[in-house]
Amino acid sequence: MSTAKPTPPPQAAATATPRRKRPKLGEAIANDLRRMIVDGTLEAGTNLSGEDDLAAQFGVSRPTMREAIRILEAEALLTPSPTSYGALVITRPHPGMATKYLGLLMQSEGVTLSDIYQARDIFEPAAVRIVAETKGAEAAEVLAALIARRRLVMPNWPAEVALTVSFHEALMELSGNKTLALLLKVFHNIFERHLGRARAQRDQSLDDDARSFALSAHERLVALIRDGRGAEAEAFWTQHLQTTRERYLRLRELDHVIDMLD
């Protein structure tokens, strides 16, 4: 694995001065490194330069450099290398990071699964119409493949849940709206976390009914998208999502506050 050696940006020389208190200086260095990770200057999957090299490059002491590194480790932008002891691997931001912090914020605010489902019900139907009217057969092929994969893994519940989540995420990605796609990834990460717990507490026959209901709806939606029937697809998906939420509410699986601490 290659090692990334960052070149301190021009402002680093101004921020990395002995006059500033060490904690603030460490944060400034962390911010410079963070920016280089996010914009791709430091390539994801490569090892970060050693602490001594980084300290020399930024013109700071080792304790200051160590503080900067610890900040980025806490943010999961640097993770321990699985193959090289003591090395740190550069990691780009991903939805799992947002899930953790947004999920904790939601939990502290008393947000329920029903509330999250309702938010999804607002976004997805509009995305479905965009997909049907702009991607048509191309999108239908992608979605149909996910349905086929789900049928192959039945009745492996965790695999089915993962593929169902992938189906919903694909809808958002195919719409071309990156903001909604990322937001829905966070929502679905929370759904996936809780659905496994709920499944363990209910009758297996309920899963069979839910499976049949969902697959039928997904196949109908794919047909509407393939035909480019945007308005009809939007109306159908709105009704399907509302019905799904009502089914879960009757099972009392959505009326509790999300729990991100288990």
What HEC string does 142-181 produce? HHHHHHHHHHHHCCCHHHHHHHHHHHHHHHHHHHCCHHHH
Write the DSSP symbol of residue 254.
S
Between the CA of residue 7 and those of 36, 53, 80, 197, 238, what are the distances in Å?
9, 11, 22, 47, 51
- The per-residue pLDDT for 13 is 46
- The per-residue pLDDT for 252 is 65
- The per-residue pLDDT for 95 is 86
Nearest-Å Rg of the Cα atoms of the chain is 23
CATH number at 3-90: 1.10.10.10
Residue spans of the domains in the chain: they are 3-90, 96-250
- Please tell me whether the overall predicted TM-score, pTM, comes out greater than 0.75 for this model: no
Q: Which CATH number, 1.10.3720.10, 3.30.1950.10, 3.20.20.70, 1.20.120.530, labels domain 96-250?
A: 1.20.120.530
Give the pLDDT of the chain (262 residues) as one tens digit per residue. 566 667 666 554 445 555 544 458 999 999 999 999 999 999 999 999 888 889 999 999 999 999 999 999 999 999 988 887 778 999 998 888 888 889 999 999 999 988 988 888 888 999 999 999 999 999 999 999 999 999 999 888 778 888 988 999 999 999 999 998 888 888 888 877 776 665 555 445 556 777 888 899 999 999 999 999 999 999 999 999 999 888 877 766 677 888 888 6
- The per-residue pLDDT for 159 is 86
Alpha-carbon span 128 to 225, nearest angstrom? 8
30-36 contacts: CB < 8 A, separation 24 or more?
30/67, 30/68, 30/69, 30/71, 30/72, 32/6, 32/8, 32/58, 33/6, 33/68, 33/72, 33/77, 34/72, 34/75, 34/77, 35/9, 36/6, 36/9
Which positions ≥6 away from 76 have C-beta within 8 Å?
91, 96, 97
Between the CA of residue 202 and those of 126, 159, 165, 198, 247, what are the distances in Å?
33, 18, 20, 7, 13
- The per-residue pLDDT for 207 is 64
Between the CA of residue 120 and those of 7, 53, 117, 229, what are the distances in Å?
42, 47, 5, 21
